[in-house]
């Protein structure tokens, strides 16, 4: 029950954060927001799973790694979709 409470709070935070991010990007489509929230939750889950498999990594190291990963994605030169 306690774990369910944590998951619920994390989900609410994800929904709020993704909604704000999408709004800032000029996208208020609820289905896009729902899809992006699912993507975000999957990313978080994957990173936590990875960290649990690499327990030698400190919280600071993991925070730095996440920042590098997100920067790589955000700064990639991706062609526009026509």
pTM of the model: 0.80
Q: Is residue 66 pLDDT above 90, yes or no?
A: yes
DSSP string over 5-52: HHHHHHHHHHHHHHHHHHHHTT---HHHHHHHHHHHHHHHHHHHHHHH
**What are the two backbone dihedrals, phi and then psi, of residue 29, each rounded to the nearest 5 degrees?**
-65, 120
Q: If 0-12 CB within 10 Å is exposed, 13-18 middle and 19+ buried, where does residue 19 land? A: middle
Instruction: Note the pLDDT tens digit of each residue in 2-53.
Output: 888 888 899 999 999 999 999 999 999 999 999 999 999 999 999 999 999 9
Instruction: Give me the mean pLDDT over the 43-67 stretch.
Output: 97
* pLDDT value at residue 81: 83
Q: Is residue 82 pLDDT above 80, yes or no?
A: no
């Amino acid at each position: 029950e306690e774990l369910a409470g944590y998951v619920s709070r994390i989900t609410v935070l994800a929904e709020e954060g993704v909604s704000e991010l999408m709004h800032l990007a000029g996208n208020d489509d609820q289905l896009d927001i729902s899809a992006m929230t699912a993507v975000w939750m999957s990313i978080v889950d994957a990173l936590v799973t990875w960290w649990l498999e690499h327990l030698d990594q400190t919280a600071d190291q993991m925070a730095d790694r996440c920042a590098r990963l997100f920067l790589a994605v955000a700064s990639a030169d991706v062609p526009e979709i026509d």
